[in-house]
Structure 1
């Protein structure tokens, strides 16, 4: 982790205007550290960057003192339950999978369990406007993969991202949220409680300086980190044109596995997943499909028993499946009479295990 003595040089280097990540990586590869970059002669710098960029390094950028003070205060405000730190590209604790990507961030702001960066992980991403079934799938699969020892990575967005984080945390696993703002800003604000929980039980990650607002251009950038940290990316629901498919593409370019859950051919939220499957993504119907593809070991017997206890029981629950179903289809699947079936559905509905949808459709809810 970056020490107090190293902090000013790192912040100043990354805040220097006109220097992109590729230029900064060239400088660090050539000179070894930010301090060495600032000590270098202009002629030596111009072997790697142009004259205007070299001139920009000659003095601290506008607002640098305020940035340094704000960052120092933020770091000092961490706690034993929710520590804060900065991790540089040169640090031995920098996550190896991310280091092997084409565009690793030079600096990561961390809050929470930094040890999760060293654990095997899977990204789960998807629509901000998912179906109820999409929410259930993300949460259930996140929980089950977590019980098998996979850390779940996502982007703290509404919809699938939030459900995946909650599933991982509820299942007792760690979860990493890679955000598109500074870590002193929670976006979306509706996830303030989730972010607070992740800061203690999981990990919040950003490459953006403190005070960075939720700019639209930053979210595709953070997606490369989500894909880069993880052994694979699972898309639960997504339209054909969505940030989730950007994450999947970045995962494939980094040589990682891509998974997708199929859905109804009439659902726009399934179209992106179907496109990925056509392109070679692994079709996923359960968490076990992911575990098998990653050759991940099975959990201990105690965990298996816990999973079994949560599995839905009863012929009607089994007959409901996971997609909306008509009353006629349930009559055919169960062999029950209309009165007995209606009574059983009402009981499950009152228990919160079944939802009654428009058009006399029924759908299983949550874990029930």
Structure 2
């Protein structure tokens, strides 16, 4: 993926990532799927908070908002504005043909990432398994009594296989070489997430629009150094939650000089966060202790807004214009998939 504006991408990633909540200290954590012990990034998205699956006008408004934001994201990533109507049509097709017709209704997304060989995506919701198997291609799918399994080449490394398991209420995607361990943990409902992500586990309890925790020190060490701005390199850890009760992000940076420098950069990014949220949210940033905190007034509307933006962000990877060729994951492209 070509990064055209790294600062904007970082702002969006941070906005779609995590914070420590001192208020949620009940040790009785409800089970949630976490098949990796030591990820560098843990992300949760509650897509039902968008209103997309509600009845009547609420669902219509949510779908229109999502389609518009998909178009904006594709244009921001370099799509020719003359193709905007094609992008909107593709986004509408994807919503209508996949999400709203009962084929794939994603309620929750869990994403854990350690490196390109160790990651897992778990989608929970309602899935028409046989119809999805037909989309993937009969020759690529192995059917069991309650699940369908497919393997395909990694788009990042064609020499590696990606494993995909589809059930009626859960889809699992991970590298093929760890699929046995991942599916075993999920089948046993065994959560093995390490204690360093305890804050993330607590945040999941309230099923927020978004919760995430990122070990940035480890993640940056694995990334190409030229892709990481100097002002960002001293950042060690970040946590964020956006729910109807709280909207707050913590950026942990123990070095005082670097923290002051980062605060200046973050204050500049707040405008980008506000734009990402549709200019409907008043963000503020301030230093406290060894961290910088970015906050916004919480509420049901912010939770709905962030959830719909999360759906659009995920969808735009499937509906994007690149080199004047529109690549669409929708019903019209089933027979001509790239």
TM range (shorter): under 0.3
Is the radius of gyration larger for structure 1 or structure 2?
1
TM-score, structure 1 as length reference: 0.22
TM-score, structure 2 as length reference: 0.23
Structure with greater contact order relative to length (CA < 8 Å, sep ≥ 6): 2
**Which structure dedicates a bigger proportion of its chain to strand?**
2
**Which structure dedicates a bigger proportion of its chain to helix?**
1
